Amino acid sequence: MTNPALLVEVLNPSTEDYDQGEKLRHYQQIPSLEAVVFVSQSERMVSVVRRTPSGWLRAEHRDAFELEHTGTIAVTELYP
């Protein structure tokens, strides 16, 4: 894939520190990337990391979150 605006990653408990650390720093080097969504497997929670004019901002969501390209997504829609 070239020039992604959004990446979604389902976290594996054994690699989530790496995924949200070093791997995220690599993702943040992609010029077109606007947001990274991390979906937890250990709890019903989504972390959204967004590019802003002043840098990257992380927010955790347990109810719903909004993405520019998709609108509002209920966290419960992501879990069985």
Q: Is pLDDT above 90 for 1?
A: no
Give me the pLDDT at residue 80, please.
82
Query: What is the predicted pLDDT for the residue at 63?
Result: 96
| Domain 6-78 classification at class level | alpha beta
What are the domain boundaries of the chain? 6-78
Coil, strand or helix: which one is 25?
helix
Q: Where are the alpha helices (DSSP H) in the chain?
A: 16-19, 22-27
The tokens describing 45, both together, are 């929670």
pLDDT value of position 68: 87
**pLDDT exceeds 90 at position 32:** yes
Q: Which of 73, 33, 24 is nearest to 52 (CA)?
A: 33
Spatial CA neighbour of 67 closest among 25, 21, 5: 5
